[in-house]
Amino acid sequence: MKILVAYYSRTGTTRTVGEALAKELGADRDEIVDLKKRTGLRPIRFLIAGRDAMAKKLTDIRFERPAEEYDLVVIGTPVWAGKITPAVRTYLSSQRLEGKRVAFFCTNEFSHEGVFEEMKKMIPNSIFVGALGVPAKEVKSGAYVEKVKQFADNLRKQTAPNP
């Protein structure tokens, strides 16, 4: 089974989880790049990022690997304003994921309530096999490692061929 772990990360937290997950699963990895500049010290960028997420805006993105070439696609996003990021919204709306197994992960400071439901709704014709939310503080402390291992084990079980 060919597995892809694709994620957007503004400040590296979601990337850390995505890298660990790809390693656990023996998967290919792809970082989705938002071509709109989202980093830097100017607080206005933070505000615009939150506003764009809340308004469910799309953006211009770049990525390397077409999801349609994989059997399982695991998609990761930070939570912005209680929503998925514009980069991942654009990815979900532009990739051909019908009939494919998909799983999600996110990182957040406070809550990821509703995020996975929204991702599922965006790709209703995909086969959902699992989701993992990781608080950013668990990425900092290292507690995410065990969670990622368990999640990868579950995904392997979900996607194993029937005997």
Beta-carbon contacts of residue 55 (< 8 Å; ≥ 6 apart): none
How many Å apart are CA 106 and CA 55, to the nearest integer? Answer: 19
* CB closer to ligand FMN, 2 vs 42: 42
Residues 2, 11, 42, 141: which binds ligand FMN (CB under 6 A)? 11
If binding is defined by CB under 6 A, does position 141 make contact with ligand FMN? no
If binding is defined by CB under 6 A, does position 13 make contact with ligand FMN? yes
Nearest approach in angstroms of CB 71 to ligand FMN is: 26
Under 8 Å between Cβ of 23 and 31: no
Residues 40, 41, 43, 110: which binds ligand FMN (CB under 6 A)? 110
List the one residue out of 105, 92, 118, 126 whose CA is nearest residue 17.
Answer: 105
* CB closer to ligand FMN, 101 vs 116: 116
Cα-Cα-Cα-Cα dihedral sign, residues 113, 24, 12, 100 = negative
If binding is defined by CB under 6 A, does position 114 make contact with ligand FMN? no
Distances (CA, A) of 29 to 42, 110, 118: 30, 26, 23
Distances (CA, A) of 139 to 11, 12, 13, 104: 12, 10, 7, 17
If binding is defined by CB under 6 A, does position 123 make contact with ligand FMN? no
If binding is defined by CB under 6 A, does position 128 make contact with ligand FMN? no
**Contact range with ligand FMN by CB under 6 A, out of 65-73, 76-84, 91-99, 148-156:** 76-84
* CB closer to ligand FMN, 108 vs 126: 108
How many Å apart are CA 124 and CA 41, to the nearest integer? Answer: 38
Residues forming contacts to ligand FMN in the complex (CB under 6 A) are 9-15, 46, 49-50, 78-82, 107-111, 136
